[in-house]
């Protein structure tokens, strides 16, 4: 009953704020690892939506140091959102674990700037999964998740679909994001407008606005393994994937930041 009441209140908050206003509806704090994995460009192209009428998606070729020929970056967000939710009413702000798999630098006809396709979002909260899907049109599901100081694990119900990531910090302290020149790749990705396709006939976009001036980061190597069923079919499964730390191009970062999330808008 409490969950249904929260959903009703969130719905009322959404519909009573005019969507024409460029206001931020959601705000929060975020402790996360951001990681780039390189995949064959054609495999990533095949992950883009094919069932959205009158939409044609292609991949831009970003000029990124460390990006290999014929490859495209995909981005992992493995973290916990803290006191995140509507600015009003504050009691809807929650703390929850969240995973995102996204494809940046996606071109769409009629748009002059690249966008991010959020392929899937997993959380440990059925309420957050509901609101993400209903109001932002993102593919979202609630599953078992656990985040510790150096690891991240998730499992879909009681199936064999699992993801496990281990992190090795390369420094003890966090520093301003500006201390690491290779952090700029995440600033580019996280500043792009994004969209999903939970309902392929609905075209909904939004933006995160991170406060990079106060963001703290530290480099961390990542080892990742995922089984079938959680990510796109062409993502490598049952294979150890390793990434460097942020002191190298396209390296992984552990991040503490704050953000505001805009209202969903038609795109």
What is the rounded average pLDDT of the residues 198-203?
93
Least confident of 77-81, 85-89, 215-219: 85-89
Question: Tell me, what's the pLDDT at 92?
Answer: 76
Question: Does the structure show a pLDDT above 80 at 82?
Answer: yes
pLDDT in tens, 138-157: 999 999 999 999 999 999 98
Question: Tell me, what's the pLDDT at 151?
Answer: 98
Distance CA 98, CA 176 (A): 23
Question: Tell me, what's the pLDDT at 86?
Answer: 83
pLDDT in tens, 55-77: 899 999 999 999 999 999 999 99
Q: How many CB atoms are closer than 10 A to CB 204?
A: 18
Distance CA 75, CA 117 (A): 10
pLDDT in tens, 156-187: 988 899 999 999 999 999 999 999 999 999 99
Question: Tell me, what's the pLDDT at 26?
Answer: 87
Give the confidence band of 103 by pLDDT, cuts at 50, 70, 90. very high
Q: Which residues of 63-100 are buried (b: 16+ CB within 10 A; e: fewer)?
A: ebeebeeebbbbbbbbbbbeebbbbeeeebbbebbbbb
pLDDT in tens, 6-45: 445 455 444 444 433 334 578 999 999 999 999 999 999 9
**Domain range annotation of the chain:** 2-266
**CATH 1.10.10 matches 2-266:** no
Question: Tell me, what's the pLDDT at 17?
Answer: 41
Question: Tell me, what's the pLDDT at 117?
Answer: 98
Q: DSSP strand E in 49-143: where?
A: 57-59, 71-86, 94-108, 115-123, 140-142
Instruction: Supply the pTM of this predicted model.
Output: 0.91
pLDDT in tens, 104-137: 999 998 788 999 999 999 999 998 999 899 999 9
């Amino acid at each position: 009953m409490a969950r249904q009441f929260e959903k009703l209140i969130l719905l009322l908050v959404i519909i009573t704020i005019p969507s024409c206003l460029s206001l931020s509806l959601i705000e929060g704090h975020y402790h996360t690892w951001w990681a780039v994995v390189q995949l064959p460009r054609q495999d990533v192209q095949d992950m883009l939506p094919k069932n959205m009428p009158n939409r044609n998606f292609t991949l831009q070729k970003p000029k990124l140091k460390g990006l290999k020929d014929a490859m495209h970056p995909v981005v992992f967000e493995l973290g916990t959102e803290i006191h995140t939710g509507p600015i009003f009413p504050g009691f809807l702000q929650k703390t929850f674990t969240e995973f995102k798999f996204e494809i940046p630098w996606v071109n769409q006809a009629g748009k002059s700037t690249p966008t991010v396709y959020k392929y899937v979002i997993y959380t440990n909260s059925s309420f957050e999964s509901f609101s993400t899907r209903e109001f932002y049109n993102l593919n979202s599901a609630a599953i078992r998740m656990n985040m510790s100081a150096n690891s991240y694990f998730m499992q879909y119900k009681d199936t064999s679909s699992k993801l496990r990531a281990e992190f090795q910090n390369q420094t003890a302290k966090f520093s301003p994001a500006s201390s690491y020149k290779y952090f700029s790749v995440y600033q580019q990705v996280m500043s792009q407008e994004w969209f999903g396709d939970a309902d392929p006939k609905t075209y909904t976009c939004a933006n995160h606005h991170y406060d990079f001036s106060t963001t703290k980061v530290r480099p961390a190597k990542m080892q990742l393994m995922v089984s079938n069923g959680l990510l796109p079919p062409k993502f490598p499964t049952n294979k150890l994937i390793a990434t460097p730390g942020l002191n190298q191009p396209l390296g992984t970062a552990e991040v503490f930041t704050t953000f505001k999330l805009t209202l969903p808008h038609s795109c």
